[in-house]
Structure 1
Amino acid sequence: MGDRDRERHATEAMRDRLPEEEEEEPSASQALAVATLLPLGGGLLAFAGLTLLGSVIGLALLTPLLLLFSPVLVPATLLLALTVAGFLTSGALGLTGLSSIGYLLKQARGVAQKAPEQMENAKRRVREAAQAARRLTEETSTA
């Protein structure tokens, strides 16, 4: 029984030493990043999907023309160029959308790490402003 009590006291002592996690609010710049990047990333992903769909539909519709007019190389070159451009545009928009969402997630994860430093800076600035106001008051009252 004595061992159990010692273990329980040791556990409680360790729990007392651990800092309590506090929920911290995001800063204005992080909220602005979320408000900007979430619709931007979603919109770019939607455009990527629409471009890919358009490229596939265009390829399906123009392939019979390629077969009918195979002696003519200009339509074949045009079809190939448009298809490649569509796929590349789709990939670029998709990659941009995913990277925007990835940046947003990275910023959201960094909130907890940056908040203590920002709080210390804010406390220091308030302390300096209070000292400056105190000095100004003392100078004014002695003059």
Structure 2
Amino acid sequence: MAETHFQTTQPMTHQMVKAATAVTAGGSLLVLSGLTLAVTVIALTIATPLFVIFSPVLVPALIAAALLATGFVTSGGFGVAAVTVLSWIYRYVTGGQQTAGDKCDSAGMKLASRAREMKDRAAQLTGAAAS
């Protein structure tokens, strides 16, 4: 028995709106990551001499290290978020990403197929037992 697969597709405009939104979010996060990195480096460049002049050696070193670590971690976090969004966009546009509805439809079809197989098998066994 041939099995048909029903696939629901979204209108092209709906897909384009989703893609545009995701591209905007990914691009914004990427820009925010770059800006954070630039501001961190500039702030560190300006603040380090002031710390050295007005404080003992260890205090500005600790503050500079904390600022540096905070800036790089924040920048890296925004970068990872941007790459994640952009990779999701790529998978979504190329069709590599299944939606929850598609997964449910697929599971329902598998369940229905198994139920038919079990019904046919039961009919065969009861027919063989009756003979």
Question: TM-score normalised to the size of structure 2?
Answer: 0.57
- How many residues align? The count is 91
Residue by residue, what CA displacement relative to the aligned partner does 1:64-100 show, whole Å, maximum 9, x if unpaired? 1243246253333222111110011001101111110
DSSP-derived class of the 2:56 partner: coil
In structure 2, stretches of 5+ residues that fail to align are: 1-10, 106-131
For 1:106, the equivalent position in structure 2 comes to 91
For 2:35, the equivalent position in structure 1 comes to 50
Name whichever of 61-70 and 89-98 sits farther off. Answer: 61-70
Structure 2 residue corresponding to 1:85, chosen from 70, 78, 81: 70
- What is the 5 A alignment of 1:62-141? 62-69=47-54, 71-110=56-95
Separation in 1 of the partners of 2:12 and 2:69? 42
For 1:139, the equivalent position in structure 2 comes to none
Q: C-alpha displacement at 1:47, in angstroms? A: 0.4
Separation in 2 of the partners of 1:58 and 1:92? 19
In structure 1, stretches of 5+ residues that fail to align are: 1-24, 122-143
Whose Rg is larger? Answer: 1
